[in-house]
Amino acid sequence: MFKNQIGKRSNKVKNAVERGAVKKFAEAIGDLHPIYFDEDAGRLSRYQKNIAPPTFPRVFDYGVIEDLYLPNKGLIHGEQSFHYERPLYVGEEIYCYSQVKNYFEKKGNFGEMGFLVMENCGEDSEGNVIFTSSSTVVISEAVRKVLAK
pLDDT, tens digit, for every residue of 62-121? 999 999 988 877 788 889 999 999 999 999 999 999 999 999 999 877 778 899 999 999
Beta-carbon neighbour count of residue 76 at 10 Å?
Answer: 12
More confident residue, 10 or 140: 10
Average pLDDT score over residue span 21-32: 97
**Number of residues that this document lists for the chain:** 149
- Angstrom distance (rounded) from CA 2 to CA 136: 13
pLDDT score of 13: 98
Which pTM was predicted? Answer: 0.87
- DSSP string computed for 12-45: PEEEE--HHHHHHHHHHHT---GGGT-HHHHHHS
Q: In this model, does residue 51 exceed pLDDT 90?
A: yes
- Residues of the chain with pLDDT > 90, as a percent, come to 77
With 0-12 CB in 10 A as exposed, 13-18 as middle and 19+ as buried, what is 46?
exposed
- Angstrom distance (rounded) from CA 3 to CA 36: 40
